[in-house]
Structure 1
Amino acid sequence: MVKIFDVAQIKKIDGCTVVNQGVTSVDLMERASLAVSEKLIRVLDINQPVLVFAGMGNNGGDALAVARILLSKHYKLDVYIVAPDDRFSDDCRENKERLERLTNVSIIKEKKDIPHIYPDCIVIDGLFGSGLNRPLDGVFLNVVEAINSSNNKVYSIDMPSGLFVEDNLNNNQEGIIRAEKVFTFQFPKLSLLLPDSGDYCKKMIVLDIGLCDKCINEEHTDLYFTEKADVATLPLSRGAFSHKGTYGKALIIAGSYGKIGAAVLSARACLRTGVGLLTMHVPRCGVDILQTAVPEAMVDADEFSENVSKVELDVNSFTVGIGPGIGTGDKAKYLLHDLFDRYHKPMVIDADALNLIAEDDVLRSKIPPKSILTPHPVEFDRLSGAVSKNGYERLKRARDFARSHDVYIILKGACTAVVTPEGKVFFNSTGNPGMATGGSGDVLTGMITSLLAQGYFPQNAAILGVYLHGLSGDLAAKSKSQQGMLPTDMIEYIGKAYRALK
């Protein structure tokens, strides 16, 4: 797992690296700038003009070093340092002097010094990095506004200038660079993984700059970024003499009149993810649909035609998932109370089941320990009883909720966060905007219920399920396009997602 650190920890690891590797801080800056330059060379047209905007701190030093490297490769650059005074960091000053031996560098002291940004220019942003702790003002704000209003493509070094690494609630949203790509150093930055930063970072690229492994390993964090190598070892192997009973029995309670599709999607996803046996409990109106659409699943019919009301089966002989399309009426509420009274193993809880819990303190208190809850942001706000002001606050509340209720929270979004009962957070690295459509959550519910039924620990079921869900979406988007893909396409790519992990 890639660790995610706060600003103080990043600074500490930088300093530790300088000491342990016997390098200077300006050498470390050169290493970082080479990594950025290598990526930029792959995306820049050598004939396209480039404007570099640098600040006076170490992020500015990175930008000036990048400019020097690109000049040596014969790129067409104009370099501007935003410097209302002469308070340069030592390493920035060193890189300024190195660059000035090769080309002229313009200084922006006030608003009138800001150049016109022509439409065909690429902008490299190196005004401020991860150390920023207050909203931009003065000429720095003027420069950011000029860059954003140009609508040119912007590549930011380490952070979009103006964005804080963690909580941006009290930041000035107009004073943050809107970057096409952010080349961030060594670790993902927390704010880049939160939904509020979508306008400021369309794509994050993490660059390994060789910071000291010993320092990184010794530094504690509860925040992690999940990559392929982290989940590749999680899928359980299948024995030659195994049988359907080996891979678990799942029971998914889903659907109501007009929403049987949610049951179909969760059923198909559950089966594709590898469960041995699946039973679907649905209202009677859904029986023929399920038997036709998903012949591999068994169907247990509720006594009512249009809604689920009670499960007569021995629920403790199954791993249970509940929620997709069940509605929030009295019958569904009674079923959930009855289920929680009878079933005490970890289960998967989604959609309408979450909304029912949000309205009922007794239900909330009876959630089986180590269960996996899969809310989108609005569902989580209902569940927590408060509307979060931003993604940072919502994540904090999710960690508090997971601890106090001894559950896993899968906070769905672009970088879905798996929050554990211990308060650890695992951000996911797969998925795309094509998955932002009705039915994707039903697929995830089926997948995680399947993994839990197969014997995965809840944490591994959540992390692997979220990763496979996103990867299936990525494979579907590659084939169908983000605009044209459907949740049913994602289900068809679950097998290929498994194969891609090998």
Structure 2
Amino acid sequence: MKILSKEQIYEGDKLTAQRQNISSTELMERAGTQIFNWMHMRMQGAQVPIHVFCGIGNNGGDGLVLARHLVNHGYNVHTYVVNYSDKRSKDFLVNYDRIKQVTKEWPTLMACEEDFPTITPEAIIVDAVFGIGLNRPIADWVKKLFQHFRASKAFTLAIDIPSGLQTDSVPESENDVVWAGYTLSFQSPKLIFFLPETSKYSVQWEVLDIGIDLEYIYKLNTEAELIGKQEVLPIYKPRKRFSHKGSFGHALIVGGSYGKIGSVTLSSKAALVSGVGLVSAYVPKCGYVPLQVALPEAMVITDENEKFISNISFDITPSAIGVGIGIGTQDETLLAFENFLKENKAPLVVDADALNLLSKKTELLALLPKGTVLTPHPKELERLIGEWKDDFDKLNKTKAFSKKHEVIVVVKGANTITVFQDKYYVNTTGNPGLATAGTGDVLMGIIAGLITQGYEPLSASVFGVYLHGKAADIILEDFGYQSMIASYVIDAVAEAYIDLFKQPEQPQVSEAEQEES
């Protein structure tokens, strides 16, 4: 699913009105009606108090359309106009007149803190104050209104975007923003829903289709794309009947040091379950017995050093190499890594201490093959790109780093974002159970395994992140967040593959309902 920018949303509204021969007021009516339908289907006439707070722009106009439909269907609705300016949008004024025609209880004008209504915890707040076009400082009394929402403990539903948030920046203070329990986003999600500093302002979100021109969306090139099952299915490579293990490549996993052989075991096993034909692990001598015992499916090559890697030399021709897990940052290892990069011709996935070695000696970045995949956690990323002031600055710096070095950067987090050149791929799978030792090693092994099988590095990164997160989602019910460990995630990768082709379960229909239909 494409994540549209603010400018693209405005352009889509404009083109839709032209191509469908409708006015902007009619498009607003469509949007407001969709919000009403969403609420009405869930509330079924329930008489809890609904407080609809409307700004004086188009977001407020959407709120007025919603309020009018709620009134017409007999809901217990109270409508307010947050009068923060003397300017009104044209469509707001049209719908302000329309709501006055269906109720004697006209919208209450609010202009200061004394106008705030009492809101009980069992009520519903609809936030339609500011939309994506917020371009002015917020008045102090409006900020206090937002704090009043939060203090009420009432469920808050935001229209399109929580008021006070912008689509491309982080608010200066969390008190300047509506904290929504749910956000109904028009046509496309917003990037801010997936960033650590801004996702907290909407616990859940959902996209409402308001009929934006499909041809426009289809042809649109967006900066960000949301990755779910429908986006990864076209990436998947089915196996041919007469394939053999040589058809799926030979992965090499390089890493480990004394006490950290488990990381290589996890990565090697993850590469195997991703579907590679052969896996070899390159480890110091102390890793030979543990790997042979723990993972008999893998072959083992050892460094001459007993406790850490001091020379990376092998006589196989791997299809792809994953390097860095548990490898350490000793001077001898740094030199071995440098010599390896100078000689290497295979596609690379670089993780963990190999990333720290790159940060330690940045000139080595020039030795990375084009399309190398880097999989840093936040601190490793900071060592590579420098400190950032907020999440948007982090993404911009990562994008610049990707373009400069022609690499793919997998920014790990609650919504892992794969960055390549000017594009962000935002993953939708995964859960807090992945916040445990070894899951990063598993991800590296999966991505290296997919590249080994012939997937392009970018496709392997996007697909690998999805499979990794989906495996964690599948086992969540059995293990919960606290008891999930990396080995369990590996074991569930098979189910993540199978899930790609599962059809959604159809709701059960009783015989009586069938007869009625």
How does the TM-score come out when normalised to structure 1?
A: 0.94
Give the equivalent residue in structure 1 for 2:392: 392
Displacement after TM superposition at 1:218 (Å): 4.3
Aligned pairs (5 A) from 1:154-169? 154-168=156-170
CA distance in 2, matches of 1:398, 1:166: 16
Q: Which residue of 2 aligns with 1:285?
A: 286
Three-state SS of the structure 1 residue aligned to 2:321 is strand
- 2:51 aligns to what SS in structure 1? strand
Change (3 A) 1:59 1:478: farther
SS at match of 1:166: coil
Number of residue equivalences = 498
The reply to whether residue 417 of structure 1 matches residue 417 of structure 2 is yes
Letter in 2 for 1:92: F
Give the 3-state SS of the residue equivalent to 1:156 in structure 2: strand
Check the 8 A contact 1:253/1:280 in 2, yes or no. Answer: yes
Match of 1:487 in 2: 486
Q: Using the TM superposition, name which of 188-197 and 479-488 deviates more.
A: 479-488
- Residues 157 and 182 of structure 2 are in contact (CA less than 8 Å); yes or no, is this contact kept in structure 1? yes
What SS class does the counterpart of residue 197 from structure 2 fall into? Answer: helix
- 304 and 8 in structure 1: CA distance in 2 versus 1, 3 angstrom threshold: same
**C-alpha spacing 1:109/1:263, structure 2 compared with 1 (3 Å):** same
Does the CA-based 8 Å contact 1:345-1:369 persist in structure 2?
Answer: no
C-alpha deviation, 1:22, in angstroms: 1.0
Deviations 1:99-147 (A, max 9, x none): 3323622221111111122222222211111111234223321211211
Q: Would the alpha carbon gap of residues 250 and 175 (structure 1) be closer, same or farther in structure 2, given more than 3 Å must change? A: same
Distance 1:114 1:280, change over 3 A: same
Report whether the alignment pairs 1:244 with 2:245. Answer: yes
| Counterpart for residue 30 of structure 2 | 31
Query: How does the TM-score come out when normalised to structure 2?
Result: 0.91
- 1:49/1:267 CA distance change after superposition, 3 Å: farther
For residue 117 of structure 1, give the secondary structure of its aligned residue in structure 2.
coil
What residue in structure 2 maps to residue 12 of structure 1? Answer: 11
What amino acid does structure 2 have at the position aligned with 1:432? N
Partner of 2:464: 465
Indicate how the Cα distance of structure 1 residues 103 and 43 shifts in structure 2: closer, same or farther if over 3 A, else same: farther
Task: In structure 2, list runs of 5 or more residues that go unmatched.
Answer: 502-517
Question: Residues 267 and 62 of structure 1: is their aligned pair in 2 closer, same or farther, counting only changes over 3 Å?
Answer: same
CA distance in 2, matches of 1:75, 1:301: 73
Contact 2:192–2:199 (CA<8 Å) still a contact in 1? no
Corresponding letter in the other structure for 1:26: T
Match of 2:177 in 1: 176
**1:332-386 Cα distance to aligned partner (Å, 9 max, x none):** 31221121011123210011111110110221221222111111222112111x2
Partner of 1:230: 231
Q: How far, CA to CA, are the matches of 2:41 and 2:288 in structure 1? A: 55
Deviations 1:269-290 (Å, cap 9, x if unpaired)?
Answer: 1111111111112223332222
Paired with 2:73 and 2:229, the residues of 1 have a C-alpha distance of 34
User: Which secondary structure state, in structure 1, belongs to the residue aligned with residue 276 of structure 2?
Assistant: coil
CA distance in 2, matches of 1:187, 1:267: 38
Tell me the SS of whatever aligns to 2:363: helix
Match of 1:192 in 2: 193
Tell me the distance in 2 between the aligned counterparts of 1:24 and 1:415: 37
Equivalences for residues 434-473 of structure 1 within 5 A: 434-473=433-472
1:150 aligns with 2:152: yes
Take 2:364 and 2:417, find their aligned partners in 1: how far apart are those partners?
24
CA distance in 2, matches of 1:494, 1:142: 48
Aligned with 2:114 (options 99, 107, 112)? 112
Letter in structure 2 aligned against 1:193: F
Structure 1 residue identity aligned to 2:456:
F
Q: Give 1:86 deviation, angstroms.
A: 4.5
Aligned mates of 2:39, 2:471 — CA distance in 1:
29
Match of 2:138 among 136, 139, 153: 136
Cα RMSD over matched residues?
A: 2.0
**Post-superposition shift, 1:263?**
1.8
